[in-house]
Amino acid sequence: MLTEILLLLSALFFLYLSYRYAVSRPEGFPPGPPRIPLFGSYLFMMMSNFKYLHKGVLNFSKWYKSDIVGFHVGPFPVVAVHNAEGVKQVLNNKSFDGRPQVYLAKMREPDRNILGIFFQEGTIWKEQRRFILRYLRDFGFGRRFEQLELVIQEELTDMLDLIRNGPLYEHEKEIVKPGGYRVLLPSLLHPFSTNSVFHIVYNERHSRAEQGVLLKLTQMAMQFQRHADDYGKLLSIMPWIRNVFPNWSSYNKLMEANMFIHTFFANFIDRHIETYQEGFERNFLDLYIKEMKQAEAEGKTDSTFSRSQFIMSLVDFSFPALSAVGVQITFLIQYLMLYPEVMKRVQKEIDEVIGSGRLPTLEDRKEMHYTEATIREGLRIETLVPSDVPHKALEDTELMGYKVPENTIVIPSLYAYHMDERTWGDPKNFRPERFLDDEGKLCLKKDVSLPFGAGKRLCAGETFARNMLFLMTTTLCQNFNFVLAPGDKLPDLSKNLNGLIISPPDFWVQLEDRK
Ligand code: HEM
Ligand SMILES: *[C@@H]1O[C@H](CO)[C@@H](O)[C@H](O)[C@H]1NC(C)=O
Ligand SMILES: *[C@@H]1O[C@H](CO)[C@@H](O)[C@H](O)[C@H]1NC(C)=O
Ligand SMILES: *[C@@H]1O[C@H](CO)[C@@H](O)[C@H](O)[C@H]1NC(C)=O
């Protein structure tokens, strides 16, 4: 009898402890779903929306009637913010400028160190980000620079030629059908945006014959993007899972991508280190190498300039050009196919401002209010990075009246912000006019979207990306209509894939010359 009572009591005590664990949360933490051992609230997130975690978490806000919700991803406490005021507060306060050091970030580097820019914090992040942005500017990054514009035009000319005349090289058959005009998106666009960044970095480009390796590089970048998720996957919650389920956990796909990308940039940098001559710095790479050598010569052991850091910084600065730019343009093409009246107005503006005899320039951009508004509306309605790159509280802080302990992952949901009726009225409508004034001029005050984030962590490539988006989109719309070949269907936006960034599934599209 006594044993039974004892058993019952221990069972009750165990249940009580489990309950306490499930509902326990840091003092003053925002409301949110309970947690279970190992997973935290991850399963509830997946139950709420299996495909898109950012939508699942936004669903919590409705459930708990709060624009800020708190929960756990594995052992990590997380706070997600779903209104304009909260999102801006997170982005603009340096207390939230940290990055969670999750396994997904570590596994990108062979020694499992967090290096580079994206997932770095503190002094290394500041020094590296500042150095790279400062010197890349000299080579045209982030500003208007005629030489760079000419380089981008060379890329666009190559792209038009490939589309019209079909593949010349083996690798091009993967992205354009023989005879031309039938192209694979977003893959077609990636090598050309990559080449534009590479030109800034090392003053050379891969010619079309040499672009096979670039195509592979961009495919691997997409593989990484699509196999990750907003919270670093189950892999970040329980890293040991890679040993048990290497395929199912995406570990193998992620590692294949990481290794290819890392090796590519390591070889690339080593070639430049070997041919470096002091006093004859040829390009941005050489300037970085100079800094490395100086630190070595002065015996500085705490320098943030090292070969391994260099590799990852370059990976981070190239990664979005390998993947994000082409994906964002492809989203826009999908909308232009679904909204032919918008496409007509864009093409009318192109015909009036540029005509058909030459390629678009950034000078034209100032005159092309409707086109620019359309690109901005594309960036808003398909938030490429829906949960932003996660931030982290660097100290005990407060947010929207709740306590946020040090090391909490903080998510300023760009998706929620871009879809908020309180800010946009009709967020679900694709309506470029929302950014125009009464005279049809672009009104920047009306564009309060934040596709690139804000504050000290603002996307380091915003200006470059906006320029690329304009030049590539207008070039495509100037020269072609997007049409449906027999058997083709209009894009289905609900098929968009999840990942670190959202992306459309690869699809073939038929182009036709504009008359
Ligand atoms: C359509 C294109 C792009 C979009 C929508 C985009 C968006 C973003 C967003 C939302 C972030 C995170 C901001 C935050 O942490 O709050 C970010 C970070 C970053 N982006 Fe972009 N980006 C794009 C293209 C590019 C390009 C082309 C480059 C470089 C050539 C670039 C380089 C970076 C870097 C280095 C960071 C990390 C900044 C840091 O952690 O300090 N991005 N981007
Ligand atoms: C919110 O979650 C519930 C289940 O918890 C689900 O039925 C519903 O579809 C979700 N809504 C959205 C918009 O994801
Ligand atoms: C994982 O996938 C690869 C390639 O698809 C396959 O060769 C391998 O056997 C799989 N491994 C396990 C453990 O399922
Ligand atoms: C940033 O957050 C901290 C902690 O909540 C707060 O004390 C501080 O006033 C905030 N700073 C700004 C500039 O809003």
C-alpha of residue 450 to centroid of ligand 2, in Å: 26
Q: How far apart are alpha carbons 89 and 353 in whole angstroms? A: 40
Q: How far apart are alpha carbons 4 and 436 in whole angstroms? A: 75
Q: Name the residue with the closest Cα to ligand 3, atom 5.
A: 247
The DSSP result for 194-217, as a single string, is HHHHHHHHHS----GGGTHHHHHH
Ligand 3 contact via 243 beta carbon (within 6 Å):
no
Q: How many residues does the chain have?
A: 515
* Angle made by CA atoms 39, 41, 44, in degrees to the nearest 5: 110
3-state helix, strand, coil in the chain (%, to 5): 55, 10, 35
Q: How far apart are alpha carbons 490 and 334 in whole angstroms? A: 8
C-alpha of residue 388 to centroid of ligand 1, in Å: 9
Strands (E) across 47-196 are located at 68-73, 76-81, 182-185
Q: Give buried/exposed letters for 421-460 (b at 16+ CB in 10 A, else e).
A: eeebeebeebbbebbbeeeeebeeeebebbbbbbbebebb
Q: What is the pLDDT of residue 8?
A: 87
Q: What is the pLDDT of residue 200?
A: 84
Q: How far apart are alpha carbons 195 and 209 in whole angstroms? A: 13
Ligand 4 contact via 398 beta carbon (within 6 Å):
yes
Q: What is the pLDDT of residue 48?
A: 93
Ligand 2 contact via 59 beta carbon (within 6 Å):
yes
Pick from 101, 328, 452, 469 the residue to mutate for probing ligand 1's pocket: most ligand atoms within 8 Å of its CB.
452
Ligand 1 contact via 230 beta carbon (within 6 Å):
no
Per-residue pLDDT of the chain (515 residues), as tens digits, is 778 888 888 888 888 787 777 777 888 999 999 998 889 999 999 999 999 999 999 999 999 999 999 999 998 999 999 999 999 999 999 999 999 999 999 999 999 999 999 999 999 999 999 999 998 888 878 777 888 888 899 999 999 999 999 999 999 999 999 999 999 999 999 999 999 989 888 888 899 999 999 999 999 999 999 999 988 888 888 999 999 999 999 999 999 999 999 999 999 999 999 999 988 888 889 999 999 999 888 888 778 899 999 999 999 999 999 999 999 999 999 999 999 999 999 999 999 999 999 999 999 999 999 999 999 999 999 999 999 999 999 999 999 999 999 999 999 999 999 999 999 999 999 999 999 999 999 999 999 999 999 999 999 999 999 999 999 999 999 999 999 999 999 999 999 999 999 999 999 999 999 97
> Which atom of ligand 2 approaches the CA of 49 most closely?
14
Element (H, E) at 62: helix 53-63
- What 3-state DSSP class applies to 406? coil
Q: What is the pLDDT of residue 1?
A: 76
Token pair recorded at residue 160: 């038009």
Ligand 4 contact via 397 beta carbon (within 6 Å):
yes
Identify which ligand lies nearest to the alpha carbon of 415: 1
CB atoms under 10 Å from CB of 65, counted, come to 8
Q: What are the structural domains, with CATH classification, of the chain?
A: 24-513 (1.10.630.10)
Token pair recorded at residue 391: 């931030």
Strands (E) across 141-287 are located at 182-185
- What 3-state DSSP class applies to 506? coil
Q: What is the pLDDT of residue 328?
A: 98
Q: What is the pLDDT of residue 67?
A: 98
Read off the pTM: 0.94
> Which atom of ligand 2 approaches the CA of 44 most closely?
5
Q: What is the pLDDT of residue 147?
A: 82
> Within 109-145, where are the H helices?
122-138
Ligand 2 contact via 457 beta carbon (within 6 Å):
no
Token pair recorded at residue 364: 């034209």
